[in-house]
A and B are shown apart, each in its own frame.
Chain A
Amino acid sequence: IIMTQSPATLSMSPGESATLSCRTSQSVYNKLAWYQQTPGRPPRLLIYGGTTTDTGVPARFGGRGFGTEFTLTINSLQSEDFGVYYCQQYYSWPLTFGGGTKVEIK
């Protein structure tokens, strides 16, 4: 399953809201996760099941979508939110990741 993320880069200011997109080449139903990776750190699970926020993830992160179209919204960007975001499907083997969206400070 091919994962396509857009845009590749988002230039945002702190306090703004960001919307990231992930499209899959075939339906993954709700088997879609979002990860955040900040420089020098391993990925961190944010969202699973397409819409469920993992424990400890701030409420400003929200996931939507089902099937082949998914979005991750980050409300009121904080300084610690700047980094790269990846979507991943776990509907079928092999597990596949999108190419990532970099959220950078404008």
Chain B
Amino acid sequence: EVQLVESGGGLVRPGGSLRLSCAASGFSLSSYQMNWVRQVPGEGLEWVSSISRDSTFIKYADSVKGRFTTSRDDAKNSLYLQIDGLRVEDTAVYYCARDRYPHYVPGVASVAEIGFWGQGVMVSVSS
């Protein structure tokens, strides 16, 4: 059974940092491009970042570029999101998500639909 379990969320003051983790099981993480998507409670979905299966390509939304860093450790079956310089507007549920199928094109930041989502972890930024 595919499982994605996020952790590391919490309440942080503006300007602070957090490191979110996503533990993957039930599939070979190394074969999949992975994503972070966030959702302000009661609002819509916002794509945050994607990382190719070999970490060659890491994409970020303009709203987080320069403050968020996505990484992965396939040996530990884990995906990470380092969040620095937190702002009140970063308050949201953060979802770890896997592409639907394992795709890879050397030298190309290929795109695919998101096929599976974790339960999410809440990040609250407030003074």
Contact = CB atoms under 8 A, between A and B. Distances in A.
Tell whether A pairs with B. yes
B81 to A, nearest CB: 16
Interface string B21-50: 000000000000001000000001111001
Interface of B: 35, 44-47, 50, 59, 61-62, 95, 100, 109, 111-120
A45 B115 contact: yes
Contact of A44 (B50, B111, B113, B117): B117
Interface of A: 31, 33, 35, 42-45, 48-49, 54, 86, 88, 90-100
A97 B46 CA distance: 7
Given A42-B95, A93-B59, A48 B111 contact: no
A40 B46 CA distance: 17
Contacts, number: 58
A42 to B, nearest CB: 4
B75 to A, nearest CB: 26
B113 A43 contact: no
A96 B47 CA distance: 7
Given A42-B95, A48-B100, A54-B100, A91 B111 contact: yes
